[in-house]
Structure 1
């Protein structure tokens, strides 16, 4: 489905009726990443929604800087346009950070938050593995624009190197199609340069710090962290998971087995089952 927001449009998947479960994707993805998860979460009394972030997937591509705040603003407008209240948020990668940010700014709107492979706090360069550190440095460096904008490197590497089982061309095609030109790939580059590392970029560090306070204090909102193992691309390492256990209120952690960073491609059934069971335990 498509809806007009802020002079542009947002595409979203929408099925079922009842409590809104909103699934937020990351970079360089779209609502497509949830295609094998949503069927396992579907149940009577649940409405499942998965938007494409502005500038991504089938959503509009207005002339924007595509900073974190831009994405949050368009998501807010989408929530308002659909009249969504008492929502359960599920976020991966930047979708998780946007979920935390939305919950922190609209605490009365959110009933629960499930997340995995996302940004829960500022990181240091030293915390990154050798390969992710080299990749981040290259993208933030002078060659980053050419690397990301002049071809399909970012999308292709995400779904061949960021998963345990690389996607074939037929499965890759829907992820590649929204980004046929240099300009269409700018949102991907901005996201790739936005990870809060040692205080930079300042605007994202500020948003993440604000969300972290909500994560630590919102004991009335159940939260679910899904963890994985064996891949060097994982963002939620054992050390970060331990930090979450100590600093995120009302947190449950469920381990879902081996997966890469784009875990919905490797473990969609396990992700769906964990979210479904958690939601049932808490009557969400």
Structure 2
């Protein structure tokens, strides 16, 4: 049995939806019903959602290893990957290491390349510096649960309901339970660090540039200072990612599947049909 918990519906081509930090498969609840045909799967990354919390470092490599095991346990092959935030980075990484397994890749608000500090807004850069500071980061993310609360009240155009916020908070009731969230927050590839992860990002960038036979979809948004992919990053994607369609989906915050779930599902469905991916 796979270690990772996942939600699943439908049959046919596997379409895997990968969430980011500090989310879970719950983030896809309003997207999946509108995607249409396919075997739709949304796992909770290790240490998040309803998946277990083993005593590991929660590095990118840890997440990728558990995700690999989940793919193998379910015997998933010839898949379409859909990734948001760190889920997008994991999708890129998985595709680069298993190129024969992936038939298409859609992404939004994710880490498309190693970043410089000035790629972030001043507010985001200051927050990242604090999170990376020993003691300060622990206070911000472990002692308090504000990082999680702010993601779904400030990282969106419209705050989620109290019931949905409770679902997002449920996996992280204690400082110890929030270790995966802090580990993710400290791994953003900024200014050449962490070096090992920067190398993996550069490796998947080479795959993204060279995989001319794999259709790719970038969904973009506007109207929020929390967005990770703005005009400059979109331009970089069009110049450096092969076989890429770019579709604007309206105003949203970084956790765009909360603000624009139907638009995401509609454009994803149209892209899947356009390229015969299911």
Identify the TM-score tier after normalising by the shorter chain: over 0.9
Task: Determine whether 1:240 maps to 2:233.
Answer: yes
How much does 1:182 deviate?
1.1
CA distance in 2: counterparts of 1:42 and 1:55, whole angstroms = 29
CA distance in 2: counterparts of 1:206 and 1:82, whole angstroms = 29
Equivalent in the alignment of 1:21: 15
Alpha carbons 1:42, 1:48 under 8 Å: kept: no
Equivalent in the alignment of 2:36: 42
Equivalent in the alignment of 2:111: 119
Task: Determine whether 1:177 maps to 2:170.
Answer: yes
1:133-212 equivalence runs, <5 A: 133-142=125-134, 143-212=136-205
How much does 1:138 deviate?
1.2
CA distance in 2: counterparts of 1:137 and 1:166, whole angstroms = 25
How much does 1:102 deviate?
0.2
SS of match in other structure, 1:65: coil
Deviates more, 1:264-273 or 1:132-141: 132-141
CA distance in 2: counterparts of 1:28 and 1:254, whole angstroms = 25
Task: Determine whether 1:63 maps to 2:73.
Answer: no
1:13-55 deviations in Å (ceiling 9; x for gaps): 0111110000000000000000000011132xx1000000000
Unaligned runs of 5+ in 1: none
CA distance in 1: counterparts of 2:92 and 2:237, whole angstroms = 13
1:207-226 equivalence runs, <5 A: 207-226=200-219
Equivalent in the alignment of 2:98: 106
1:221-252 deviations in Å (ceiling 9; x for gaps): 00000000010000001000000000000000
Query: Which aligned runs of 4 or more in structure 1 are off by greater than 2 angstroms?
Result: none
CA distance in 2: counterparts of 1:36 and 1:145, whole angstroms = 32
How much does 1:78 deviate?
0.3
How much does 1:275 deviate?
0.3
Alpha carbons 1:24, 1:96 under 8 Å: kept: yes
CA distance in 1: counterparts of 2:126 and 2:164, whole angstroms = 27
Give the root-mean-square deviation of aligned CA atoms.
Answer: 0.7
Alpha carbons 1:228, 1:255 under 8 Å: kept: yes
CA distance in 2: counterparts of 1:275 and 1:253, whole angstroms = 11
CA distance in 1: counterparts of 2:46 and 2:99, whole angstroms = 23
How much does 1:169 deviate?
1.9
1:86-130 deviations in Å (ceiling 9; x for gaps): 000000000000000000000000000000000000110011111
